[in-house]
Structure 1
Amino acid sequence: MRALHKLTQAKIKSAAPGKYADGGGLWFHKREDGGAQWILRVSVHGRRREMGLGGYDPAGNFGVSLKSAREEARKWQALARQGKDPIKERERQRRNAAKENHTLAVIAEEAFEARKAELKGGGSAGRWFTPLKLHVLPKLGIVPVEELDQQDIKNTLAPIWHTKADTARKAMNRLGIVLRHAAAMGLDVDIQATEKAKALLGKSRHQAQHVPALPWQEVPAFYDSLSDGTITHLALRLLILTAVRSKPIRFLRLDQIEGDVWTIPAENMKSRVDQAAEFRVPLSAEALGIIEQAKPFARDGFLFPSVRKGVISDATMSRLMERRGMDERPHGFRTSFRTWVAEATDTSQEVAETAMAHVTGSKVERTYRRTDFLEQRRVLMQRWSDHVTGGTGEVVRLAN
């Protein structure tokens, strides 16, 4: 039997460059540059194999000490005696460990972090990640992303595929992005898994429900009913007059208004970060009057503060309409306005869509069209104001 433990700490420390056997196939290699490493020689099916066991560190703080090298050598020699290649086995173990670190939950978080710069507010609202967090990760989070297939995805999203179609679509979309992120990391994933899952799930039976909107002919009567001068009534009146979404109204600050123009900051617009820009809203005489009425309520610069702190909630105006037994909601007034524009004016498509803060035309077209049609929209919004405050609603001709 070959002698074991031939080396000592003292001998290793004073060793000249060269290779020294400790026994049992363990070798100490001192290099010319002063560095050193451990090598294990084993025989598997008559073929000699050499595997590195790490660099040498006398204290065992950041490398492999003599004691640790001997323990590693015993472990891998025992495996070789079973006819297994220790080098291949170590690689297999490393791959398994990597899989544990490459679970869907881990990669999803990494994909989210990488995408934050593109998301509004850096993804702080959590809306991008929520569909995954609620409907995918609870079931598939611990699955190694390389093992994820279309059947896993299909089984996970099937319960909401027809009942919560929009949420399911978002979850599927986010999952596809996560898989592409994993592929970019060099992981062996099936980036077509989401498309295959869609094929298995079939077309959704869910019918999209649009936000109920008040017919534009009925808007004046509703506007007139908002007459008690409260923050909610004033905010809802301004929302109707400007045809913007609720967030810009709720976060309206007095310093955003100059003359008869309200400049909404990019972060309060719906557009993606790569499309985001300030949006100018021409204010009608009626809208300016509403702002004057709201000024006494202003706090911390916000025109529509909540009772306690911050601004009024997203649901405040909706609840008012709900309490009145209405199916319509505040966001629907954008539809009321856009329908009025189409049916009661001859406004051009470009001006009408710009008034809605919609992105129109190709990227190249937008690059060369450097106007927001402010003057045309000023006329349009004044006409809308005239209608809302009791005009006849007759067809008007607007210059483009």
Structure 2
Amino acid sequence: MRARNRLSAAFVKRAPEGKWCDGAGLWLVKRPDGGAQWVLRLTVHGRRREMGLGGADVSLAQARDLADRWRSVAAAGRDPVKEREAEVRAARREDITLAIITADAFEARKGELKGEGKAGRWMSPLEVHVLPKLGRVPVTDIDQRDIRDCLAPIWHGRGAEAAQKALQRIGIVLNHAAALGLEVDLQAPAKARALLGKSRRERQHIPAVHWRDVPEFYATLAEPTITHLALRLLILTGVRSGPLRFLRADQIEGDTWTVPGDAMKGRKDKTADFFVPLSAEALRVIELARPFERDGFLFPSARKGVISDATMARLMERRGMSERPHGFRSSLRDWLAECTDAPHEVAETVLGHVAGSKVVKSYRRTDFIDQRRVLMHRWAEHVTGATGKLVKLAGAG
């Protein structure tokens, strides 16, 4: 064994600049500015580890006691650095509550979310159903029973979809906690799902107008109001209501609408814009909307900002319809499947979906704009009264 206790208290006080060994890995490091640092060098699992034991305010006797403690931890096969970090976290348990870690996980992830998550939809299932019950619990203490008890009241009822989203987000938060070095049970969400059982409430699809009936509905949108025009353009383009409601006049160039990448749902690359080919009918609707432009937006609300997400849905509700605006995307997709020979990837791209495996996606360098332009022209013809005859794409087999 190497010699120990080489230094004296008197030497420590007057030690010159340099590194001075007290033995068995304990060193005094004296800096040029007169400051000092105690450092313990250890070997754990074949790896060299260094841990600071304090500065000049730590006496030689205290440094030796600390060194003895952490040597015994290393001798037991545990990492002293990680053990000390765990002790610090345990002393500050209020900093590792589920609420704190959730907020940190959201900050790290929001760049991937639409509008950086400002609409609150990512956080909403947690804020409503989880954090009121578990927010103050240290994330290291959360297990499958906590999650089950939290979500059980809504797992089989009307809140089933929110419960599914909450469970998925809890998994993301626990993975974030693990990345921070916290000892959490990453299997807790999966085990909670097993305890909850299969949800008895089937996911409800948004009711959609059959593609054959779209022309009849479109014809009723004859008034040049913001709501009628917005619904018309929604039907003609197949976009989601978000990009449509926030459509700006400067996004239209010629017969193409450029939707900013960060406005597209489900896309990891938020820098990639999406180009929507506009039919003659769509351009006509846009021209009718231009007189309403305010602050650059073509569909402003009566007071401030743009029309709400519910504005178009309310019109359909007042008519006694069960269908909703988002359903027109299904109408378009069914028409593409039944009345055109468009390949699957082209039809999916019409709706802004990114189809194919990861390998296919990584090599694809086209957005099928020419094929989509033909399809959207024919869709507009159908919507405005033409028959649903088969649409052939140029070059298609």
> Is the TM-score greater than 0.5?
yes
Mark the CA change 1:32 to 1:220 in structure 2 (over 3 Å): closer, same or farther.
closer
Counterpart CA distance in 1 for 2:313 and 2:296 is: 24
Question: Among 160, 165, 172, which residue is 1:177 paired with?
Answer: 172
Question: Among 287, 293, 296, which residue is 2:291 paired with?
Answer: 296
TM-score by length of 1: 0.77
Mark the CA change 1:55 to 1:320 in structure 2 (over 3 Å): closer, same or farther.
same
In 2, are the aligned partners of 1:120 and 1:273 still within 8 Å (CA)?
no
Q: Match for residue 66 of structure 2?
A: none
Structure 1 residue 317, shift from structure 2 partner: 0.5
Mark the CA change 1:199 to 1:250 in structure 2 (over 3 Å): closer, same or farther.
same
Structure 1 residue 95, shift from structure 2 partner: 5.5
SS state at 2:294 partner: coil
Question: Among 197, 203, 210, which residue is 2:198 paired with?
Answer: 203
Mark the CA change 1:292 to 1:187 in structure 2 (over 3 Å): closer, same or farther.
same
Taking the TM superposition and a 5 Å limit, the aligned residue runs for 1:195-234 are: 195-234=190-229
Structure 1 residue 393, shift from structure 2 partner: 2.0
1:327-377 CA distance string (max 9 Å, x none): 001100111111111111222212111111111112322233211111111
Structure 1 residue 109, shift from structure 2 partner: 1.4
Mark the CA change 1:36 to 1:387 in structure 2 (over 3 Å): closer, same or farther.
closer
Cα RMSD (Å) of the superposition?
2.7
Counterpart CA distance in 2 for 1:206 and 1:122 is: 31
Q: Is 1:386 the counterpart of 2:381 in the alignment?
A: yes
Counterpart CA distance in 2 for 1:91 and 1:322 is: 58
Question: Among 109, 119, 127, which residue is 2:113 paired with?
Answer: 119
Q: Match for residue 238 of structure 2?
A: 243
1:148-169 CA distance string (max 9 Å, x none): 1111111111111111221111
Percent of residue pairs identical: 65
Give the gaps of 5 or more residues in structure 1. Answer: 1-11, 18-29, 39-51, 58-62, 70-89
Taking the TM superposition and a 5 Å limit, the aligned residue runs for 1:350-365 are: 350-365=345-360
Q: Match for residue 152 of structure 2?
A: 158
Aligned residue type for 1:134: V
SS state at 1:263 partner: strand
Structure 1 residue 267, shift from structure 2 partner: 1.9
Structure 1 residue 98, shift from structure 2 partner: 2.8
In 2, are the aligned partners of 1:105 and 1:141 still within 8 Å (CA)?
yes
Deviates more, 1:341-350 or 1:225-234: 341-350
Structure 1 residue 301, shift from structure 2 partner: 1.3
Give the gaps of 5 or more residues in structure 2. Answer: 1-9, 16-27, 39-51, 63-83
Counterpart CA distance in 1 for 2:14 and 2:358 is: 69
Q: Match for residue 91 of structure 2?
A: 97
Mark the CA change 1:364 to 1:264 in structure 2 (over 3 Å): closer, same or farther.
same
TM-score by length of 2: 0.77
Aligned residue type for 1:291: I
SS state at 1:108 partner: helix
Give the structure with higher Rg (CA).
1
Q: Is 1:147 the counterpart of 2:146 in the alignment?
A: no
Mark the CA change 1:307 to 1:92 in structure 2 (over 3 Å): closer, same or farther.
closer
In 2, are the aligned partners of 1:102 and 1:144 still within 8 Å (CA)?
yes
Counterpart CA distance in 1 for 2:276 and 2:85 is: 62
Structure 1 residue 398, shift from structure 2 partner: 2.9
Taking the TM superposition and a 5 Å limit, the aligned residue runs for 1:1-400 are: 94=88, 96-163=90-157, 164-274=159-269, 277-399=272-394, 400=396
Equivalenced residues, count: 334
Counterpart CA distance in 2 for 1:379 and 1:313 is: 31
Counterpart CA distance in 2 for 1:375 and 1:54 is: 68
SS state at 2:190 partner: helix
Mark the CA change 1:320 to 1:116 in structure 2 (over 3 Å): closer, same or farther.
same
Aligned residue type for 1:109: A
Structure 1 residue 119, shift from structure 2 partner: 2.0
Mark the CA change 1:35 to 1:337 in structure 2 (over 3 Å): closer, same or farther.
closer
Counterpart CA distance in 2 for 1:267 and 1:198 is: 32
